[in-house]
Amino acid sequence: MNIAFFLTPKSEVVWIRARSTLRQAIERMRRNRYTAVPLLDDDGRYVGTLTEGDIMFHLLSVTEPLSAAAESIRVTDIARRMTNEPVRIDAEVEALIALAIDQNFVPVVDDRGILLGIVRRKPIIEHCARQAGMIGEARSFSAAP
């Protein structure tokens, strides 16, 4: 099976530019109600994942007023506690499943590291459940979280 079968394309993914300010990141995450989002450089390469927890821990170390800090801090200045490893689009599904065990979503990149989209856990779990005979083939999954 091809990884593309599970892919939510980049056009449907909420992501943040790595050069964004903390305020821009918080606003985008809040508006879309996501607790973790991919970070992309100006060329569209995946550079990591920013989480609410990363933001929270960073803000605990800020000594200036939060409103000023939110405008001056770049998301690249925020330490990330975990690394969401990407998988290449031509990887085996087993590699995707192995990463999904520890990650809420798996970024999918091309051979240049450009983000093509993400794979969320839900379609992977549903696929495995179908393979195990736990749910019928008629049940379909959506790309929604």
109 within 8 A of 116, measured Cβ to Cβ: yes
The predicted pLDDT at position 6 comes to: 93
Whether the pLDDT of residue 130 is over 90: the answer is: no
Domain hosting 51: range is 3-131
In a domain, 9, yes or no: yes
- The string of pLDDT tens digits covering residues 4-47 is 999 999 999 999 999 999 999 999 999 999 999 999 999 999 99
What kind and span of H or E run contains 24?
helix 22-32
Calpha distance 49→39 (Å, rounded) = 5
Asked, for residue 144, whether it belongs to a domain, the answer is no
Whether 142 maps to a domain, the answer reads: no
**Total domains, the chain:** 1
Q: Is residue 138 part of a domain?
A: no
Whether the per-residue pLDDT at 145 is higher than 60: the answer is: no
List, for residues 59-110, the tens digit of each pLDDT value: 888 888 888 888 889 999 999 988 899 999 999 999 999 999 999 899 999 9
CATH assignment at residue 122: 3.10.580.10
Q: Would 36 be classed as within a structural domain?
A: yes
pLDDT, residue 14, reads 97
